[in-house]
Amino acid sequence: RTRARSQCVVALTSRGGRGHVPYRSTKLTNILKDSLGGNSNTVLISCIWGESAHLEETTSTLKFSARMMRVQNETSTVSTR
């Protein structure tokens, strides 16, 4: 599941403008598709733990957060008239 989210982020941040973003890979990425690559401002809060027993998970979370920071969306106002 984490890999599917990572694939979405990689597709969104690739410089060549990858044509397909695999939002349907998981329920979570499908729900978040408008936030991840759509017309919205998104905030990511990463929870990490300082104990060595959780080092692998913390490192993975920080790498994912760093990749998410490279995703750039262009927001625009939508008229509802």
Per-residue pLDDT of the chain (81 residues; tens, 9 = 90+): 567 667 777 777 775 555 677 777 778 777 777 777 777 777 889 999 889 999 999 998 898 888 888 877 666 677 777
User: pLDDT value at position 54?
Assistant: 92
User: pLDDT value at position 75?
Assistant: 66
In the chain, alpha helices (H): 2-13, 27-31, 33-37, 55-69
User: pLDDT value at position 52?
Assistant: 92
Task: Decide: pTM greater than 0.75.
Answer: no
User: pLDDT value at position 64?
Assistant: 82
- Furthest CA-CA distance within the chain: 55
- Given a contact cutoff of 8 angstroms between Cβ atoms, the answer to whether 21 and 12 are in contact is yes
User: pLDDT value at position 51?
Assistant: 92
